[in-house]
Amino acid sequence: MILASRLKWPSRSEFALPPRPVQRRGEPGVNRMYGTSWPVQPGAATPGGMRIAHLSVRYGARTVLDNLSLDIGAGEQLAVLGKSGCGKTTLLRFIAGFVKADGLAGTLTVSGRDLTHMPPHKRNMGLLFQSYALFPHLTVSENVAFGLRARRMSSGEITRRVTDALKLVQMGDSGGHLPAQLSGGMQQRVALARALVIEPDVLLLDEPLSALDANLRASVRSEFKALHERLPKLTVIYVTHDRDDALVLADRVLLMRDGRIAQLGTPQQLYDTPADGFVARYLGAANLLPPHVVFPSGDPRHGVCDKVACVRPERLTIRPHGRGRLHGTVTSVEWHGAALSLAVMLDAARGEPVLVTLQRGRDPAPDRGMRVSLDCEADDAVLVTP
Ligand code: ADP
């Protein structure tokens, strides 16, 4: 493999981003990429590409993963997203080789090799889990070198790899520090260097940002993104319950629900064409309305009964009363800095108010209690299963 070159400080040409999977709205597989169907990006045949087939994990009577199948492309960044308890970590642990359950079925293939029964230390995967505890009495360099010493590498090779790994995470000057002398974010980067120093084919990250406060989280997230731009051949699987992490970092998002795939696709696909109401809401604020309210009577979607129309708040345009198709009353106005969030109770759908996001402009925003009208283009609403 190209492992030795992988951690070298990248040349200019290596800064190029790997191509993102291209798929247009409405193409086969976009809305059907849930359940156990195969996603678009074939992964198993290429170096580092991975295929998980018919994976089920049961602990006693409890089914934690239920017949999951997916391909992960070489060099892809996949975010595994979902609520606590939906099986994300179990999926990651299966890939790493740590799941031991009587009710385990399914296979894992990487670069065409069946790794299903291979012990974890032979899989060449870097791991960074929630608790990234560093040895407090060892320096940064010694912490990073720890796994290499266990592998009985020569000291010259260890020095080279540790230097490269620390440079990669922008910690090249901190090798002699003790962990206690570093901030939380810096310790996190050292733990990342420790995962990268073995020059893995696949990097597995389990909620790596969850211990950081909001500001630090955003900056470490950006660093992760920059890191992958420097290591475009590294496949990264990133478990998180935070949709922003997933949207910012991932080429594709695997949204899980109760041990199954709710939807798999690019962040934009999940946001713009959610498979159902669960996906729509998980990815952000969503108005789910009866189709006859949203689509005009000439539209074939107008009379659909078994689905709802999903409209994102920023897709709705607010107009003076009488100048749009949907009429209602403003029930709240919230200011979020650059944007305003309005709730409007529609005359035609008096359940939940509809949310509308407005960028702040020069025109005065409507006040609470005002009568307004709303409009959206035909393309701005999609039909989804409730
Ligand atoms: P997530 O990472 O999405 O929060 P997990 O994969 O950690 O979820 O866990 C999914 C479910 O499987 C949880 O209900 C958890 O209690 C259960 N589970 C995980 N590991 C074991 C185990 N070794 N034995 C029994 N139940 C387990």
Distance of CA 139 to the CA centre of its chain: 33
Ligand 1 centre from 120 Cα, in Å? 19
Q: In the chain, helix, strand, coil percent, each to 5?
A: 30, 30, 45
Smallest CA separation from ligand 1 atom 5, residue: 87
Helix (H) or strand (E) run with residue 343 in it:
strand 339-346
Predicted local distance difference test score (pLDDT) of residue 48: 60
Q: Is the CB of 86 under 6 A from ligand 1?
A: yes
314 band by pLDDT with thresholds 50, 70 and 90: very high
- Mutation pick for ligand 1 pocket among 65, 90, 261 (CB with most ligand atoms within 8 Å): 90
Predicted local distance difference test score (pLDDT) of residue 4: 37
Predicted local distance difference test score (pLDDT) of residue 47: 60
Ligand 1 centre from 264 Cα, in Å? 21
pLDDT tens-digit map of 204-260: 999 888 877 777 788 878 888 888 888 888 999 999 999 999 998 999 999 999 999
Closest to 76 measured CA to CA, from 252, 334, 209: 252
Ligand 1 centre from 108 Cα, in Å? 19
Instruction: Kindly report the average pLDDT of the chain as a whole number.
Output: 85
Predicted local distance difference test score (pLDDT) of residue 25: 38
Smallest CA separation from ligand 1 atom 12, residue: 64
Closest to 70 measured CA to CA, from 40, 111, 28: 40
Index of the ligand 1 atom closest to the CA of residue 256: 3
pLDDT tens-digit map of 163-187: 999 998 889 999 999 999 998 888 8
Smallest CA separation from ligand 1 atom 1, residue: 85
pLDDT tens-digit map of 43-68: 444 566 899 999 999 999 999 999 99
| Letter string b/e over residues 117-151, b meaning 16 or more CB atoms within 10 A of that residue's CB | eeeeeebbbbbbbeebebeeeebbbbbbbbbbeee
Distance of CA 262 to the CA centre of its chain: 13
Ligand 1 centre from 91 Cα, in Å? 10
Point out the least confidently predicted range of 38-47, 63-72, 181-190, 191-200. 38-47
Predicted local distance difference test score (pLDDT) of residue 212: 76
26 vs 108, more confident: 108
- Chain position carrying tokens 């090779």: 157
User: Do residues 46 and 74 make contact, with C-beta atoms less than 8 angstroms apart?
Assistant: yes
> What's the pTM?
0.84
How many angstroms separate the Cα of 235 from the Cα of each of 78, 248, 383?
8, 16, 34
Q: Is the CB of 90 under 6 A from ligand 1?
A: yes
- Chain position carrying tokens 């890939």: 95
337 vs 159, more confident: 159
Task: Determine the 3-state secondary structure of 358 from DSSP.
Answer: strand
Predicted local distance difference test score (pLDDT) of residue 46: 58
Q: Is the CB of 148 under 6 A from ligand 1?
A: no
Ligand 1 centre from 85 Cα, in Å? 6
Predicted local distance difference test score (pLDDT) of residue 232: 87
CA–CA separation, 294 vs 302, rounded Å? Answer: 8
Index of the ligand 1 atom closest to the CA of residue 86: 3
Average pLDDT, stretch 5-32? 36
Smallest CA separation from ligand 1 atom 23, residue: 59
Predicted local distance difference test score (pLDDT) of residue 33: 31
Q: Is the CB of 87 under 6 A from ligand 1?
A: yes
> Residues 146, 152, 157, 163: what is their CA dihedral angle, to the nearest 10 degrees?
0
Ligand 1 centre from 128 Cα, in Å? 18
